Amino acid sequence: PILSLLEIGGVKIGKDDVVRENDPTNNVTDSIFSKIGLQLHRRDNHPIGILKNAIYDYFDANYGGKFIKFDDICPLVSVKENFDDVLVPANHVSRSYNDTYYVDAQTVLRCHTSAHQAELLRRGHSHFLVTGDVYRRDSIDSTHYPVFHQMEGVRVFSPAEWIPSGLDATSYAATDLKKSLEGLARRLFGAVEMRWVDTYFPFTNPSFELEIYFQEKWMEVLGCGVTEQEILRRNGRLDNIAWAFGLGLERLAMVLFEIPDIRLFWLTDKRFTSQFSGGQLGVKFNPFSKFPPCYKDMSFWINDSFTENNLCEVVRGIAGDLVEEVRLIDNFNKKGMTSHCYRIAYRSMERSLTDEEINELQLNVREQVQSKLNVVLR
């Protein structure tokens, strides 16, 4: 059952405030609403909570408890907090209705914990960690889910800290940042293969990503960098330098606990939950069974407004966590029209699905893809 009134960090949220089907400024679905307030990161016996606590321990041990921790800040934030305050440009894709869940034109479900940086800096904090659920419209596969958990870390330095080093402020912060995160990664993973990649974020410069080798691929697990001076200036910290990072807890936990599919984190099935307990980092998950996947292909002529994220939202709305992957397998043009063929993998984490059940889901998917996305089935 979906609770229709929630309270998170002192903020009351009614379902009707967040989900409005016929309002074009709103694209939050029932299935997204049902995740708000679950706060997996605050469960000490859940892999996400266990990992959060292990990262807390690392920072406590290395910084003598200086990092202040927040893990109950409401995920409904203003567009200003989520984007403007961290200098995301007006035309950046992450602001689109295709990428972000909007409650109305001014309010979103935060797409990153960076949404809280500015306010906490303004309040004068110099060392903080913010953990929370974040929301992104995205494609469907084993490492992507529209709700996941991030931990943000920010450290602010005063001139007295970097001047004696002889380094310029930016190099000083960048060196300290990489050292801290490498220490964290070593503490969590020991010998896993990792690499730093230079990247771009609107809020940091220089910016880096840390990648870890998992399931035969390099997987991004965190973004970080030296905070843009403009953010410090706007929040009353003009003479300082700072670093920031944002790490994806699911992805780290998948590697640490060998959890093969991101949907598993949401299971309430005892066969999953009973395998983890507080303080035990990196106990290997023992898959209780692998049920066979079932593949269904569908082809259609797309229109100009078609996006894969919209398709995935429709599929998830019908099949929920029974859908494992939605993948484009063919794509061609003919007489100015474009055809896409998608392969949908259905698989339950808990049981075998019957043919009837899958056929029914697929029939619904075909109908709604046609009616909601205005594409022409082939």
Give the residues across from 168 on adjacent strands.
none
Residue nearest to ligand PHE (CB): 246
Of the pair 203, 342, the CB lying nearest ligand PHE is at 203
Cα(114)–Cα(233) distance, integer angstroms: 17
Q: Is 235 in the site for ligand PHE (CB under 6 A)?
A: no
Decide: 33 and 133 in contact? Cβ < 8 Å.
no
Residues 32-91 that bind ligand PHE (CB under 6 A): none
User: Which listed residue (40, 103, 188, 224) binds ligand PHE by CB under 6 A?
Assistant: 224
Which of 51-59, 69-77, 222-230, 278-286 is the region at the interface with ligand PHE (rule: CB under 6 A)? 222-230
Q: Is 174 in the site for ligand PHE (CB under 6 A)?
A: no
Cα(376)–Cα(301) distance, integer angstroms: 5
Give the residues across from 346 on adjacent strands.
294, 323
Of the pair 58, 245, the CB lying nearest ligand PHE is at 245
Residue 242 CA to its chain's centroid (Å): 23
Residue with tokens 């494992």: 324
Q: Is 121 in the site for ligand PHE (CB under 6 A)?
A: no
Residues 184-213 that bind ligand PHE (CB under 6 A): 201, 203-204
DSSP assignment of 14-76: EHHHH--TT-TT----HHHHTTTT--GGG-TTSHHHHHHHHHHHHHHHHHTT-SEEE----SE
Amino acid at 228: E
Q: Is 146 in the site for ligand PHE (CB under 6 A)?
A: no
Q: Is 225 in the site for ligand PHE (CB under 6 A)?
A: yes
Q: Is 155 in the site for ligand PHE (CB under 6 A)?
A: no
Residue 340 phi, psi dihedral angles, 5° rounding: -120, 140
Q: Is 246 in the site for ligand PHE (CB under 6 A)?
A: yes
The site for ligand PHE, by CB under 6 A, has a size of 12
Decide: 345 and 268 in contact? Cβ < 8 Å.
no
HSE-CB at 222 with a 13 A cutoff on CA atoms is 24
Which of 50-58, 218-226, 283-291, 332-340 is the region at the interface with ligand PHE (rule: CB under 6 A)? 218-226
Edge-to-edge strand list for the sheet holding 76-78: 76-78, 107-109, 102-104
Of the pair 47, 153, the CB lying nearest ligand PHE is at 153
Residues 93-112 that bind ligand PHE (CB under 6 A): 112
Q: Is 130 in the site for ligand PHE (CB under 6 A)?
A: no
Decide: 128 and 68 in contact? Cβ < 8 Å.
yes
CB of 375: closest distance to ligand PHE in angstroms?
Answer: 31
Q: Is 223 in the site for ligand PHE (CB under 6 A)?
A: yes
Decide: 92 and 112 in contact? Cβ < 8 Å.
no
Positions touching ligand PHE (CB under 6 A) are: 112, 114, 152, 201, 203-204, 223-225, 244-246
